[in-house]
């Protein structure tokens, strides 16, 4: 039998203007005072933007294309999720403190909530982003699967919440812009999911160069093969099947769901799309960030 879902605002709270999952803010001082190392690499994103894909690419680069090394542990142990805290499986801060340098840090925190130390030390940051419509679709299915998350309602109801920033990590619009505004005075690489779908070779080369390494053909080929959607979907170290069903119920929907651009067209009605576009224009009117909703 499926465990019952909690009420929405029993598990989420407004935290400095950003909706957050309550257990993640309970020991906030540990996150806020986290000490970064000069060689930490941060992979930041709004949830469901292609974080896991980009993370596996980066880990392959760090491990010089050694697939076996990447298959030694689940992605959430190789690349700890900074603010995540639940049971004994996830404790991002503890995992990172126990880890040898150079560390790769995953976070979904918006720029203003990222621990100050990462900015002070001018750590390299890869920000992964994806168009808002596909993120909303992917996030809806994710909600259904995370047992501790409340039921998101119907898809149109969820999209309303998404537009109002009433989902964990708050407004997508604010999130993407929070990092975009920092791009000139920090070491940042922006990766767009749509670009990765369109030309993964080009994007992998960009990441290798950003990390100050040499892009050999052999390394690039290995990365592309190992991080294809099919490979990652079948790999227990990337597909989250090692997380118990009691936390992430992949019988409801798999973590590696479709892996495409444009699935929003199968979910948005014409009326929803028009409303979303109007709201989008309003929210992004001062931003120079441009997203593609199809490729
Ligand atoms: N190798 C890959 N290629 C393409 N998409 C991938 C991928 N690995 C993960 N994804 C997709 O990225 C989304 C999850 O993002 P995140 O890692 O940030 O949670 C999911 O999107 P869908 O739900 O649209 O399929 C997932 O299927
Ligand atoms: C801790 C948690 C299980 C893990 C959930 C989680 C996993 C991966 C994430 O990254 S991404 O959005 O897919 O890129 C984000 C999350 C956030 C929620 C986490 C769950 C809360 C309750 C639970 O058991």
Summarize pLDDT for 80-134 with one digit per residue, the tens: 999 999 877 899 999 999 999 999 999 999 999 999 999 999 999 999 999 999 9
The confidence score (pLDDT) of residue 186 equals 78
Structure confidence at residue 44 (pLDDT) = 98
d(CA 243, ligand 2 centre) in Å: 10
Kindly report the CATH class assigned to 25-131+172-259.
alpha beta
What is the structure's pLDDT at 2?
A: 59
Which residues surround ligand 2 with Cβ inside 6 Å?
21, 47-48, 51-52, 84, 86, 90, 146, 148, 247-248
Ligand nearest to the CA of 92: 2
Question: To 10 degrees, the CA torsion angle through 163, 265, 239, 210?
Answer: -70
CA of 121 to the centre of ligand 1 (A): 30
The whole-number pLDDT of residue 185 equals: 83
Pairing between β-strand 90-91 and β-strand 188-192 as defined by DSSP bridges: unpaired
* Ligand 2, atom nearest to 255 Cα: 13
What residues contact 144, with CB distance under 8 A and at least 6 apart?
Answer: 151, 152, 252, 253
For ligand 2, atom 12: residue with the closest CA: 47
User: What's the Cα-to-Cα distance from 55 to each of 39, 49, 59, 127, 182, rounded to whole Å?
Assistant: 16, 11, 6, 11, 21
* pLDDT at 85 (0 to 100): 96
Q: Which ligand is nearest to the CA of 231?
A: 1
User: What is the C-alpha to C-alpha distance for residues 193 and 259, in angstroms, rounded to an integer?
Assistant: 10
pLDDT of residue 206: 98
> Average pLDDT for residues 236-247, to the nearest whole number?
97
Compute, in angstroms, the gap from residue 42 CA to the centroid of ligand 2.
17
pLDDT at 1: 57
Q: Band of the pLDDT at 261, cuts 50, 70, 90?
A: very high
Tell me if the pTM is above 0.95. Answer: yes
Q: What is the mean pLDDT of residues 148-165?
A: 97
Report ipTM (2 d.p.): 0.98
Closest residue (by CA) to atom 9 of ligand 1? 53
- Token readout for 264 is 């929003």
Give me the active site residues, please.
108
């Amino acid at each position: 039998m499926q465990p019952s879902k909690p009420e929405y605002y029993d598990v989420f709270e407004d935290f400095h203007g950003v909706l957050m999952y309550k257990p993640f803010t309970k020991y906030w001082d540990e996150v806020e005072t986290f000490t970064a190392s000069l060689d930490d690499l941060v992979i930041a994103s709004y949830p469901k933007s292609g974080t896991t894909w980009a993370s596996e690419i980066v880990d392959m680069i760090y491990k010089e294309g050694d697939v076996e090394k990447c298959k030694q542990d689940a992605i959430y142990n190789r690349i700890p999720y900074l603010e995540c805290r639940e049971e004994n499986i996830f404790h991002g801060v503890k995992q990172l403190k126990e880890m040898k340098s150079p560390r790769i840090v995953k976070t979904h925190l918006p720029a203003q909530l990222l621990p100050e130390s990462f900015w002070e030390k001018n750590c390299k940051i890869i920000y992964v982003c994806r168009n808002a419509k596909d993120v909303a679709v992917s996030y809806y299915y994710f909600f259904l699967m995370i047992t501790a998350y409340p039921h998101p309602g119907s898809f149109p109801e969820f999209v309303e919440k998404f537009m109002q920033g009433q989902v964990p990590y708050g407004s997508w619009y604010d999130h993407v812009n929070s990092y975009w505004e920092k791009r000139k005075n920090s070491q940042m690489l922006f990766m767009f999911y749509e670009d990765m779908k369109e030309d993964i070779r080009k994007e992998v080369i960009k990441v290798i160069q950003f990390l100050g390494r040499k892009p050999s053909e052999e390394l690039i080929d290995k990365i592309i093969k190992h991080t294809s959607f099919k490979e990652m979907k079948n790999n227990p170290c990337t597909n989250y099947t090692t997380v118990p069903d009691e936390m992430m119920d992949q019988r409801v929907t798999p973590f590696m769901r479709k892996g495409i651009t444009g699935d929003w067209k199968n979910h948005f009605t014409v009326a929803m799309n028009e409303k979303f576009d109007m709201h989008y224009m309003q929210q992004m009117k001062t931003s120079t960030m441009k997203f593609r909703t199809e490729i």
